[in-house]
Amino acid sequence: MKTSAPGKLMLFGEHAVVYGYPCIVTAVSERLYVSEGVPTQDPKFIEAAVKAWGKPGMNFSASSSFSGKFGLGSSSAVTVAALKFLRPMATNREIFDTAYKIILDIQGKGSGFDVVAAAYGGTLYYIKDKTIEPLAISDMPLIVGYTGIKADTVSMIENVAKKKKENPQKVERIFEAIAKLVEEAKIKMIGGDWERVGILMDFNQEYLRDLGVSTQKLEDLISAAKKAGAWGAKLSGAGGGDCMICLAPNDKQQAIRKAIEEAGGEVIDVDTDAEGVRIEK
Ligand code: MEV
């Protein structure tokens, strides 16, 4: 038997989601596969999954169709896929709850948005400890550009926490503004108004810049995409590196991909709204 879980991309609301505000995340077509064997990847998460739901001596090997360097969420996907292997009949909710506990035990930080995407799949509106809402969307015209720099999520979360301590009112105001645009993005995504969703990405990026999590490289790729005709663009995830995303009309997609590469980025081909954890045939 083999199980698999998808990677994810944060579309809106990163950082704010850690403090109880909403975000929108999508599962991507790149998947992480788990089968019985010697652990080769993320052994800590596999061991913790076995400790939670397995028997001593059990072990899993993991392999992925994506590189861990992109920040697509390999630790959450491996944990979710291993739990599915151990209890194939468990509900997504049970898998999510147990996997999120494991991630928090090992990493100490995180909103669980990556775990929710790995377990449920699709595109989700998510509020920590409160809401998991699948969104019915179709054909998101998204392009993903990798900066070539692996971001350290935990230290980015810590940087924002420090900023919040120094200037709580300002940071709270930013989070509230992000939450407001997440609510609008949710409605416009369901309606397929990708042009407006792109503009909302631009707004979200401005707030992320104010939080201090963007970098020159991210800005270079974002402005290259915008100049080549994207409706809007932003970083995706913790910032400090990893990926940027943009939305663009079909007739501009080729030019944008080229512009991202010329600006030093790597375009990653992923489909969005992918299936959640599953048993492979
Ligand atoms: C990291 O990809 C997104 C953050 O919001 C952290 C999290 O939600 O766990 C920065």
Q: pLDDT in tens for each of the 281 residues of the chain?
A: 999 999 999 999 999 999 999 999 999 999 999 999 887 777 899 999 999 999 888 888 988 877 777 777 789 999 999 999 999 999 999 999 999 999 999 988 899 999 999 999 999 999 999 999 999 999 999 999 999 999 899 999 999 999 999 999 999 999 999 999 999 999 999 999 999 999 999 999 999 999 999 999 999 999 999 999 999 999 999 999 999 999 999 999 999 999 999 999 999 999 999 999 999 97
Over the range 106-126, which residues count as b (16 or more CB within 10 Å of their CB) and which as e?
eeeebbbbbbbbbbbbbbbbb
pLDDT of residue 74: 87
Of 47, 152, 64, nearest to 106 by C-alpha is: 47
pLDDT of residue 71: 73
Q: Look at strands 232-236 and 243-247 and give their pairing.
A: antiparallel
Within 10 Å of residue 1's Cβ, how many Cβ atoms? 10
Q: Which of 42, 97, 105, 114 is catalytic?
A: 114
pLDDT of residue 72: 78
The H or E element that residue 219 is part of is helix 216-227
pLDDT of residue 45: 93
CA angle 139, 145, 149 (to 5 degrees): 145
Residue with CA at minimum distance from ligand 1 atom 2 = 237
User: What phi, psi does 118 have (nearest 5°)?
Assistant: -65, -40
What spatial distance separates the first Cα and last Cα of the chain, rounded to whole Å? 8
CA of 129 from ligand 1 middle (Å) equals: 15
Q: How far, in Å, are 136, 182, 189 from residue 199 at the CA level?
A: 20, 12, 12
Residue with CA at minimum distance from ligand 1 atom 6 = 110
202 classed as catalytic: no
Using the 8-state DSSP alphabet, how is residue 88 labeled? T
